[in-house]
């Protein structure tokens, strides 16, 4: 997420953090670098100007905190201004109304609207324990309704069946009646993708908005559109009076211009981030956490929330109990841990939330391969039950059979076994409460050679 911006800002701020004192000269030099980083990230020019002006004004007149170095104080100023630029605090959905709370989802074609509706439905069901109904009024795109029906089923929410021959306004009205009669807490309405310059389509969605009077009107914006996203948001806001934005495809956006510009230019808060294709990859937008990520400080709070919500607690407790009573850690246990890691988004996503990752060499980060967990899982799945429980019996002929079974090389099997051996050693040292030795043993858990396969 926003890799290019993070790299540029981290490098620039690292230079000033080593300064013994802040002067107008070194502040100006740093500001020039920050300006270039923001412009390259496609941040809107008015946002860049105000951001730099505020940082410089505060930094030059700053009574430097005695507990920090001047460079650290400057980084703190930059972080605070990033937070203010993106909205200062998280803005949640307003669901405190008589049910059903109607949420209208709008956006351009291809922005990820339909997927976002399903993600939001799952989020409301799991996090807020809401009974959710989703409906599609997209009568134009072939199979749009079928797509939402399938996605809603995967997300575990109910779908309102509609007919492409009906008018969008009628579908919206009928879905609202159904939501009222069947006591749904929330009704999510997916609209057709439309070009914001098309007056006919914009008038249609305005009519729908008037008829159903939604408590929330969310615009889905593709993060990769940069400053164009701001123009789109302004046009939709004039027609619909938006209450917030869902920023999609942030996992593919290395710049970050839309995230930094939308709130400042439109006045509308970003409420959610779409971080992947799966229906559980929707994150609440916290400006302070995103600011920390942009500056390479990580996002430990979000990482903890991921662990709490996506890790199987029953399996984890069983695993912890097994280790506590002294039972050996076998490849079945290892496979279960790999699956848990994949549930949390994989290696790249997890590492992106750890502090200091941006400071690692690019050569190392480029070797991080999301498919590494899948390859490791494939190797273990190619083993027999006996081999998983007793990996020490896996010798030459068995290794060749396992490699052929998963379509990889014998060297890959060897790396996995070596990796597993390192983990077993770490487990033994942890049982002896020798944390220092355990940390040393962890160094070989994911060898760079395996990552770069």
**CATH superfamily ID and name for 101-285:** P-loop containing nucleotide triphosphate hydrolases (3.40.50.300)
Please determine whether the domains at 3-86 and 101-285 fall in the same fold group of CATH: no
The topology (CATH level 3) of 304-451 is 434 Repressor (Amino-terminal Domain) (1.10.260)
Q: Name the pairing type of β-strands 270-274 and 282-284.
A: antiparallel
Q: Please, which residues have CB within 8 angstroms of residue 49's CB and are 6 or more apart in sequence?
A: none
Contact between 434 and 441 (Cβ < 8 Å): no
Mind listing the pLDDT tens digit for each residue in 314-356? 666 665 665 555 566 778 877 877 777 766 665 556 655 555 5
Known binding positions = 107-114, 190-194, 248-251
Domain boundaries, the chain: 3-86, 101-285, 304-451
pLDDT (0 to 100) of residue 437: 46
CATH for the stretch 3-86: 1.20.120.140
Four-point Cα dihedral 389, 391, 395, 398, nearest 10 = 50
* Distance from C-alpha of 257 to C-alpha of 1, rounded to nearest angstrom: 12
* Distance from C-alpha of 125 to C-alpha of 188, rounded to nearest angstrom: 12
pLDDT (0 to 100) of residue 259: 75
Q: Which two tokens stand for residue 206?
A: 């305005």
pLDDT (0 to 100) of residue 66: 46
The H-assigned helical ranges of 91-194 are 113-127, 144-155, 168-181
Residue matched to tokens 């940390």: 439
CA of residue 233 relative to chain centroid, distance: 21
Known binding positions for GTP = 107-114, 190-194, 248-251
pLDDT (0 to 100) of residue 312: 56
* Distance from C-alpha of 367 to C-alpha of 63, rounded to nearest angstrom: 43
Give whole-number Cα distances, 222 to 6, 197, 278, 355, in Å: 19, 17, 16, 27
Q: Which two tokens stand for residue 78?
A: 């930059």
Mind listing the pLDDT tens digit for each residue in 85-144? 887 777 788 888 888 999 999 888 888 889 999 999 999 998 899 999 999 998 888 888
Contact between 372 and 451 (Cβ < 8 Å): yes
Q: Which residues of the chain have pLDDT under 70?
A: 1-3, 15, 17-22, 61-71, 195-197, 226-227, 252-256, 296-328, 342-370, 426-453
């Amino acid at each position: 997420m926003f890799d290019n911006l993070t790299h540029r800002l981290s490098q620039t701020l690292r230079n000033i953090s080593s300064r013994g004192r802040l002067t107008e000269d070194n502040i100006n030099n740093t500001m020039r670098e920050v300006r270039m980083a923001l412009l390259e990230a496609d941040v809107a020019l008015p946002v860049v100007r105000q951001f730099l002006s505020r940082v410089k004004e505060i930094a030059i007149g700053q009574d430097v905190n005695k507990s920090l170095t001047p460079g650290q104080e400057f980084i703190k100023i930059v972080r605070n201004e990033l937070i203010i630029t993106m909205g200062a605090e998280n803005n949640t959905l307003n669901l405190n109304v008589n049910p059903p709370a109607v949420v209208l989802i709008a956006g351009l074609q291809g922005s990820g609207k339909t997927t976002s509706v399903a993600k939001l439905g799952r989020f409301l069901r799991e996090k807020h324990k809401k009974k959710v109904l989703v409906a599609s009024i997209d009568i134009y795109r072939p199979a749009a309704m079928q797509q939402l029906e399938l996605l809603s089923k995967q997300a575990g929410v109910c779908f309102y069946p509609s007919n492409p021959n009906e008018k969008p306004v009628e579908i919206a009205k009928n879905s609202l009646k159904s939501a009222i009669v069947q006591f749904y807490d929330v009704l999510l309405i997916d609209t057709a993708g439309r070009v914001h310059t098309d007056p006919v389509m914009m008038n249609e969605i305005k009519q729908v908005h008037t008829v159903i009077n939604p408590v929330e009107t969310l615009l889905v914006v593709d993060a990769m559109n940069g400053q164009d996203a701001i123009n789109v948001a302004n046009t939709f806001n004039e027609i619909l009076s938006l209450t917030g934005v869902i920023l999609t495809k942030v996992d593919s956006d290395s710049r970050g211009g839309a995230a930094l510009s939308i709130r400042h230019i439109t006045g509308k808060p970003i409420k959610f981030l779409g971080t992947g294709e799966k229906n559980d990859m929707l994150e609440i937008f916290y400006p302070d956490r995103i600011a920390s990520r942009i500056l390479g400080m990580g996002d430990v709070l979000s990482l903890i929330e991921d662990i709490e919500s996506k890790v199987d607690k029953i399996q984890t407790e069983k695993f912890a109990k097994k280790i506590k009573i002294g039972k050996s850690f076998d490849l079945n246990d290892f496979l279960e841990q790999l699956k848990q890691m994949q549930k949390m988004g994989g290696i790249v996503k997890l590492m992106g939330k750890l502090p200091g990752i941006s400071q690692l060499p690019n050569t190392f980060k480029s070797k991080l391969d999301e498919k590494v967990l899948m390859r490791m899982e494939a190797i273990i799945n190619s083993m027999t039950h006996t081999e998983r429980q007793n990996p020490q019996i896996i010798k030459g002929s068995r290794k060749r059979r396992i490699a052929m079974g998963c379509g990889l090389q014998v060297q890959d099997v060897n790396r996995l076994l070596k990796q597993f051996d390192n983990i077993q050693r770490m487990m033994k040292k942890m049982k002896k409460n020798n944390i220092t030795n355990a940390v040393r043993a962890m160094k070989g858990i994911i060898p760079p050679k395996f990552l770069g396969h």
